[in-house]
Amino acid sequence: MELNGFVNVYKPKGMTSNNAVVKVRGIYKRYTGNKNIKVGHVGTLDPNVDGVLLIAIGKAARLFQILGAKTKIYIAAFTFGETTETLDTEGEIIERGGKIPTKEEILNTIPQFEGEIDQVPPGLSAININGVKAYKLVRHGQTPEIPSRKVYIEYIKLLEQINENTYSFEIKCAGGTYIRSLARDFAKALGTVGYMSNLKRTKVGEFDISETVTFDELNAEPEKYVISVDDAMKRFDIPEVELPENIATHCLNGIPEKCDNLPDGLFLVRYQGYLISLGYKSEDGKLVLKERVR
């Protein structure tokens, strides 16, 4: 039995994203009888973060490139006046005594971090440094130099002051943004130190936390919660191209063909109304199919 699509899983705290994938793979191995079924997640959630974990099944896993960069929404708590070695609650406190910012100071600082900004990922992260994960280098006593990179934050909304030194925020950002780094940099801009004391992911693209399913629900009715590739793609603002009949044979056999009015970047390719592949425009204006899903 072949099954392709997405499931919007609620990942609890205390579980790695990879362990969540293993659970889902086990469910669909048993359901389909396919021991080699492909299963992968779209955007890692750290073990101490709960919320939306979008998981792709079968050929849908090939669409990771176009979905991994889609926007995410988080509810985050930043604690000011102290910080930890991991920039979250997993590490020991390494500095205390910084000032606690006022609501007015926070509101005045937010605009500095909206739009495209430079961000240095945390030392304890899965960033590759010369082929080695940064967190492995740190745990072996090294201090890797992690280059900054551009990330995009659509907005930051101050929600409430939770207690004397902790505020909660809603943050909408593009894939690749580290909220732990944002907490560090935000505190620095306020003249203090801080860390991310809680985080929940409430949305990935158009997949909302209100639609998530638990592993128990998924195990009880595996097919009920699978969102087809076609239906899932309709939730995203991704350009589409209908494959013309006159060049279909060559393109479907892996031969790029000249095609007019192709968008830049990755886009979805349909043929006779069916979603069949990702596509991109070559330097000489040809349509190239990649990551076939049909």
**What positions carry a catalytic annotation?**
46
Tokens coding 244: 């013309």
Please count the CA atoms within 13 angstroms of the CA of 272 that sit on its side-chain side.
6
Contact of 200 with 49, CB cutoff 8 Å: yes
Give the span between the Cα atoms of 128 and 34, in whole angstroms. Answer: 33
Q: What is the DSSP letter of 100?
A: P
Distances (CA, A) of 17 to 61, 174, 195: 15, 19, 22
The three-class DSSP label of residue 56 is strand
Give the span between the Cα atoms of 187 and 99, in whole angstroms. Answer: 10
**Helix residue spans in 126-225 (DSSP H):** 134-139, 179-189, 215-220
**Residue among 279, 243, 277 at smallest CA distance from 59:** 277
